[in-house]
Amino acid sequence: MSKFENSTKRQKPGSAYGFALHCCITRAVRTVPAFAAGGPGILVLVTPSGKPPSDYVRPVTTALHGSEVDYLGRDLGFMCIVSKDREAKSVDEFESECRDKRRAIVIAESKDVIPTVIALAADAVVDIPPITVKDLQAACRFVLKTKASEAQAAEALSYPDPLLWSALRIGRPMAESLDRLKRAVNDTAGKKSSLEKKAVPHLHDMHGYGEAKEWGLQLADDLAQWRDGKLDWSDVDKGLLLSGPPGTGKTQFARSLAATCGTHLVASSVGQWQARGHLGDLLKAMRSDFDDARRKAPSIIFLDELDSIGDRESFPRDHASYSTQVVNALLECIDGISGREGVVVIAATNNPDRIDPALRRAGRLDKHVIIGMPDEKDRVAILGHHLAGTLPFEVLAALGPEMEGMSGADIEHLARHARRSARRMQRDVTVDDLKDNLPDLIPVDGFYRRTVSAHEAGHAIVADRTGHGELVSVVVARQVNPRIREHQAGAATFRYRVLSFRDRQSYLDEICTTLAGIAAEHVLFGRHGDGAGVGSDNDLRQATRLAFLVEGNLGMGQGFRFVEAEAHGSSAVLHHQYAQRIEQLLREQFDRALAILSEHRPFLETLAKELQETGNVSAERFLKIRGNFISSTGTALAS
């Protein structure tokens, strides 16, 4: 009889579960006769799938020492390796706890997590077998002082571990334990069905996502083909950056995408990682989430508020080291899973320009999709979805214009409050419930609407003339929601290349486009309003930041000296000579925008008028207006 088998006979009766695990470990160690007999060596035991190494700590240390102890002594070594551990940490612990011990056992969560250094040192790597019918019978007899037939033991092992080992008690007949298990499972099933959460909607049923929805449905199809072995993983689009205003449903998109694809979802953010504690805790939480996604592949890992991680080129000096380590660790995590099949990374941001360019390179988050505010048709569809068909589409359609300026989150809020109003009256939801809960929207009309239309038309035309970005759409709202802290009466949206060569001229083109809004107001009205300087990311702030980059950071101004300044803002205290250079550069690009729009004033007037009347001009419509204008004037537009 081996030393391990002797330890089973000598140990005090503890938990039935621990005894059963000890039986499993005995069988595993028996495959290495010399070690089982008490000889020297290092043994790595791999736990069955789903079983945490921590469950085996007491049985293994008891077997090594021969009795239950809290300290193994000089000659005996022991450690655990789980997927969350970094390889360097596992190797360091092995060096101190096991390498030079006469006898040592390492418990690993899987063979994949065993560092090469430990695998080379081990005399054997052995899988721990699962608990068998005979193991359970022995545990009942030796620990619980009761008997269990083979049939009873087999039935008991069909139940989840937490329920099984709670039901087995000293002196309790196995028949009674099985009856308790049956009742508990039936009760749990009943509670689950009565308290089941509302199902996550699939992308097919979602509205307002445009290109993002198309991408998601294609991903679902690709993953299905990949599962069937019809598509190589290298052909799956596995990185997406979502951007758009708050409330447009970026998080909901990730949930619905995971449901549509039938994959596990890991949802996290830099804020959640930071909440764990200091830098080491943050990095550990980050790696843990990526490890979770890898273990449960196929899966989607969703990273919200990615812009909060920042851009390494613009970190303030006081926090540069900390922030750089966070960005580098995230790059390591994304690259680490890029070659592993079944993991898709999706990130969301309200400010895509504040993301480190390295995160958007090929193989990472190289696909960028903008989710805009829902149009009238989508607003009605979103409302209908949240009301679950209690009101016909024709009735809800009348509310479409009244919901302008509302995001998907706003509409969900509206539906929730309408349902609450109806519950109080003990009746179904009516249109009046919805109208009563609509916010008092502020109309964008009159002269103000004319200035907003001219402003956004100016951005679109100058971007087109300078070649800065690809126009997606131009919109002017008919009303704005006062509940939104920073609302936009209008916006021109552009799409940019993920990675491209940028010289001084490209930055000047961007500054010129940014200042084109107020330039257009000057061309048509002789003055500009305050819209270009209001809000956290207004035109003047963006233009000033870009001008400072040119003059102080990129060596594209009058000198090569790099000047430290606060990232993404114009509040840094600048040396007088830099302030003069920046003002001069801004003035030059404003005058340039003014000249372009003055030359093409008829085109500006035509586009601004259509925006004023319709509130929306797509990229296709913009090109058609431009083409018609060229045809009608018989002249080409010059840059």
SS (H, E, C) 94-160: HHHHCCCCCEEEEEECCHHHCCHHHHHHCCEEEECCCCCHHHHHHHHHHHHCCCCCHHHHHHHCCCC
Instruction: Give the DSSP letter of residue 234.
Output: G
Contact call for residues 241 and 228 (beta carbons, < 8 A)? no
Q: Which of 102-111, 130-139, 207-216, 332-341 has the lowest mean pLDDT?
A: 332-341
To which residue do tokens 């140990």 refer? 11
- pLDDT higher than 50, residue 233: yes
Q: What is the mean predicted confidence (pLDDT) over 64-93?
A: 77
What span, in angstroms and rounded, lies between the C-alpha atoms of 370 and 242? 6
- pLDDT higher than 60, residue 191: no
Looking at the DSSP assignment, which residues form a beta bridge with residue 77? 104
What stretches of 195-235 show up as alpha helix (H) in DSSP?
211-227
Q: Which of 271-280, 285-294, 449-458, 535-544 has the lowest mean pLDDT?
A: 271-280
The Cα-based distances of 544 to 192, 317, 338, 493, 540 in angstroms read: 57, 21, 37, 20, 6
Q: Which of 159-163, 248-252, 335-339 has the lowest mean pLDDT?
A: 335-339
More confident residue, 483 or 417: 417
- Tokens at residue 369, please? 């999709």
What stretches of 238-362 show up as alpha helix (H) in DSSP?
250-261, 270-274, 279-295, 320-338
Q: What is the mean predicted confidence (pLDDT) over 605-620?
A: 91
| Highest mean pLDDT pick, 136-140, 313-317, 365-369, 632-636 | 136-140
Per-residue confidence band for 316, with pLDDT thresholds at 50, 70 and 90: low
**Burial environment of residue 266 by CB neighbours within 10 A (0 to 12, 13 to 18, 19 or more):** buried
Q: What is the mean predicted confidence (pLDDT) over 566-590?
A: 69
Q: What is the pLDDT of residue 570?
A: 42
Q: What is the pLDDT of residue 534?
A: 67
What span, in angstroms and rounded, lies between the C-alpha atoms of 544 and 564? 15
Q: What is the mean predicted confidence (pLDDT) over 248-273?
A: 85
Name the CATH topology of 203-370. Rossmann fold (3.40.50)
Q: What is the mean predicted confidence (pLDDT) over 528-541?
A: 77
- pLDDT higher than 90, residue 453: yes
As a CATH number, domain 3-131 is 3.40.50
Q: Which of 92-96, 311-315, 472-476 has the lowest mean pLDDT?
A: 311-315
Per-residue confidence band for 591, with pLDDT thresholds at 50, 70 and 90: very high
Q: Which of 252-261, 326-335, 608-617 has the lowest mean pLDDT?
A: 326-335
- 596 by DSSP, 3-state: which? helix
- pLDDT higher than 70, residue 195: no
Class of 446-633 per CATH? mainly alpha
Per-residue confidence band for 313, with pLDDT thresholds at 50, 70 and 90: low
Average pLDDT, the chain: 81
- 183 by DSSP, 3-state: which? helix
Contact call for residues 216 and 203 (beta carbons, < 8 A)? yes
- Number of H helices and E strands in the chain, helices first, is 25, 14
- pLDDT higher than 70, residue 81: yes
Per-residue confidence band for 604, with pLDDT thresholds at 50, 70 and 90: very high
Give the tens place of pLDDT for each residue, 486-502. Answer: 567 888 888 877 567 78
Q: Which of 147-161, 261-275, 472-486 has the lowest mean pLDDT?
A: 472-486
Number of other residues whose CB lies within 10 A of the CB of residue 132 = 16
Percent of the chain whose predicted confidence (pLDDT) is above 90: 23
Q: What is the pLDDT of residue 340?
A: 62
Q: What is the pLDDT of residue 566?
A: 46
Q: What is the pLDDT of residue 567?
A: 40
Q: What is the pLDDT of residue 381?
A: 84
Helix (H) or strand (E) holding 587: helix 576-599
What stretches of 425-503 show up as alpha helix (H) in DSSP?
431-437, 446-466
Helix (H) or strand (E) holding 492: strand 490-495
Per-residue confidence band for 373, with pLDDT thresholds at 50, 70 and 90: confident
More confident residue, 67 or 364: 364
This model's pTM is above 0.85: no
Q: 203-370 with 446-633: one CATH topology?
A: no
Contact call for residues 499 and 360 (beta carbons, < 8 A)? yes
What span, in angstroms and rounded, lies between the C-alpha atoms of 430 and 391? 7
Q: What is the pLDDT of residue 380?
A: 85
Helix (H) or strand (E) holding 369: strand 367-370
Find, among 99, 163, 126, 101, the residue nearest to 29 by Cα. Answer: 126
Q: What is the pLDDT of residue 68?
A: 62
What stretches of 467-575 show up as alpha helix (H) in DSSP?
504-525, 539-548
Q: What is the pLDDT of residue 341?
A: 73
Give the tens place of pLDDT for each residue, 379-397. Answer: 888 888 888 778 888 888 8
What stretches of 314-402 show up as alpha helix (H) in DSSP?
320-338, 376-386, 393-397
More confident residue, 370 or 71: 370
Give the tens place of pLDDT for each residue, 136-148. Answer: 999 999 999 999 9
Contact call for residues 78 and 72 (beta carbons, < 8 A)? yes
Helix (H) or strand (E) holding 367: strand 367-370
Q: Which of 173-187, 212-226, 623-637 has the lowest mean pLDDT?
A: 623-637
Q: What is the pLDDT of residue 588?
A: 94
Q: What is the pLDDT of residue 193?
A: 46
Handedness of CA 477, 483, 488, 494 (dihedral sign): negative
3-state helix, strand, coil in the chain (%, to 5): 55, 10, 35
Give the tens place of pLDDT for each residue, 104-121. Answer: 999 998 888 899 999 999
CA dihedral 333, 337, 342, 344 (to 10 degrees): 50
Neighbouring residues of 450: CB distance < 8 A, sequence distance ≥ 6: 524, 525, 608, 612
Reading phi first (left if > 0) and then psi (alpha if -120 to 50, else beta), residue 615 is in left
- Tokens at residue 502, please? 């940028």
More confident residue, 450 or 361: 450
Contact call for residues 244 and 372 (beta carbons, < 8 A)? yes
- pLDDT higher than 50, residue 602: yes
Q: Where are the chain's structural domains? A: 3-131, 135-194, 203-370, 376-438, 446-633
Residue 13, preceding bond cis, omega within 30 degrees? no
What span, in angstroms and rounded, lies between the C-alpha atoms of 228 and 218? 15
Instruction: Give the DSSP letter of residue 166.
Output: H
- pLDDT higher than 70, residue 529: yes
Starting at the edge strand that comes first in sequence, how are the strands of the sheet with 41-46 ordered? 76-81, 103-108, 41-46, 124-127
Q: What is the pLDDT of residue 615?
A: 87
Q: What is the pLDDT of residue 424?
A: 85
Contact call for residues 304 and 267 (beta carbons, < 8 A)? yes
Q: What is the pLDDT of residue 57?
A: 85
Q: Which of 138-142, 338-342, 534-538, 589-593 has the lowest mean pLDDT?
A: 338-342
Q: What is the pLDDT of residue 253?
A: 87
Q: What is the mean predicted confidence (pLDDT) over 220-228?
A: 86
CATH 1.10.8.60 is held by the domain 376-438: yes
Find, among 145, 149, 136, 151, the residue nearest to 172 by Cα. Answer: 145
Instruction: Give the DSSP letter of residue 47.
Output: P
Instruction: Give the DSSP letter of residue 477.
Output: -
Contact call for residues 236 and 261 (beta carbons, < 8 A)? no
Q: Which of 43-57, 169-183, 387-401 has the lowest mean pLDDT?
A: 387-401
